[in-house]
Copies of this chain bind each other. A is one copy, B any other.
Amino acid sequence: MHRVVDLEHGVDILAANRKIASENRRLLEEHGVRGFDFLGSIGSGKTLIIEHLVEMLKEQGKKCGVVAGDVAGDDDYRRFSAHGIPVVNVNTGKECHLDAHLVDHALEKLPLADLDFVFIENVGNLVCPADFPLGTEKRVVVISVTEGDDMVRKHPLIFSQADVIVLNKIDLAEIVGVDPQVIVDDAKRIAPHVPVIFTSAKTGEGLDTLSRQLALL
């Protein structure tokens, strides 16, 4: 859970977060590292998409680090580590999202001087991370057709703040009876300037498009 106001220290948490996010941004820029944060519900495919991007960048000789955020456990940490890259696991306990302060500490543990990219995977949650920028260059919101066709209009804030929307598991759309165009139409209405990219992290479909959209390659 998160607090708008920290009683003990009497500070505005959202303003404090924005300040630390700016510092994170500057820290990454000083090291020539490009940062991207990935949001989305549990099981939307954030981890697998980042794993693909890491491998695509590795083939180009680029070095990536990852910050893996979860309420509990080290599942994603272990998956990322298997790619032979530096990873920091952040367990938020009862908090429903990462914040810039947690990311600040995670960045301290990464060898930024040796890296080209840092990917940050937020806690699986389509509501809470919205108000907490982390200091990255772009924010990617990942949704899956298996979540139905109404997730965009149910969560207008987070989509309007996205830089890129990824509609994943597109290969399952027919099986789950979801028309991707409904989701695209909602996104166009709520976040008209945000591109929607169809992907299947399982088959690899759309990941080239995503990497071009993020200007990774």
Residues in chain A within 8 A of chain B (CB atoms): 1-5, 7, 41-43, 70-73, 75, 94, 96, 123-128, 130-131, 144, 146-148, 150-151, 153-157, 169, 172, 175-176
| A92: min CB distance to chain B, Å | 9
- Chain B residue numbers with a CB within 8 Å of A125 are 96, 125-128
The verdict on A73 contacting B146 (CB below 8 Å), with A41-B41, A43-B41, A94-B131 known, is no
- Chain B residue numbers with a CB within 8 Å of A130 are 94
- Chain B residue numbers with a CB within 8 Å of A150 are 73, 75
Most buried by B among A7, A147, A157, A169: A147
Most buried by B among A43, A75, A172: A43
- Chain B residue numbers with a CB within 8 Å of A153 are 72-73, 75
The verdict on A176 contacting B146 (CB below 8 Å), with A72-B153, A151-B43, A157-B94 known, is yes
Q: Is the CB of B41 within 8 A of A42?
A: yes
- Chain B residue numbers with a CB within 8 Å of A1 are 2, 4, 127-128, 131
